[in-house]
Structure 1
């Protein structure tokens, strides 16, 4: 469900203690939206499960993108971020453990310094020039 602003999301009944709508919302800074946020409870359940399995905070680098922000940052037109997807910094997490946990939870996507997570129907994995081989 798309909210035009993360501020419209009710925190009553919010069951994901390690995440907030604003950190998953578009970060265009008002260029194309007012912090649009795509809510998907199953996605958030899996994200919360990943956080619990890793045992420490996950830093969200990027979440939902409005159409304008997606163009500005060079995203593909049918980007999963037009709905719900996140890029998470590996930070001090063990990369292989994080990727394995994410895949068990139904997420896909790997890059050099972050983990892209979405829940597309057809599993996909990306590596980028210079990405650490995690296969």
Structure 2
């Protein structure tokens, strides 16, 4: 794993056709970190495999957050977003198929919201519901 700033990231070896460092980098707009990006080969390979398994585009709502941006949006101090995590929109997807495929591919941190799913690869598997979202995940 390494941390870089997106404008300086070397794309020569990039081999993921469905995702880019730009969409996974901090979204503070350059006001706080100038596009901080956390590179993790295993995470990125799993994300690309998830896209292949689902067979449809996956839209990244949010990826890495720099420390300042995470604090300004109310993120947890020890959030996986400080390294690498994604929130993917659920629009156009079967939420249960996406969750099942993600867990099968090694995403062990799953946050379930009404309109998105949070995915990360933490050491201890954890699942949680965002406020007022549990009912949308009941079958």
- 1:5-33 per-residue CA deviation (whole Å, 9 max, x = no partner) reads 11222111211110000000000012210
What TM-score, normalized to structure 1? 0.95
- Aligned residues between the structures: 134
Q: Which runs of 5+ in 1 are unaligned?
A: none
Q: What does residue 130 of structure 1 align with?
A: 132
Q: Which runs of 5+ in 2 are unaligned?
A: none
The answer on 1:61 being equivalent to 2:61 is yes
RMSD between aligned alpha carbons? 1.2
Distance 1:104 1:39 in 2: 22
Distance 2:95 2:42 in 1: 23
What TM-score, normalized to structure 2? 0.92
Distance 2:93 2:101 in 1: 12
Kept in 2, the 8 Å contact 1:60–1:87? The answer is yes
C-alpha displacement at 1:92, in angstroms? 0.5
Distance 2:98 2:7 in 1: 30
Q: Per the alignment, do residues 21 and 47 of structure 1 end up closer, same or farther by CA in structure 2, a change over 3 Å counting?
A: same
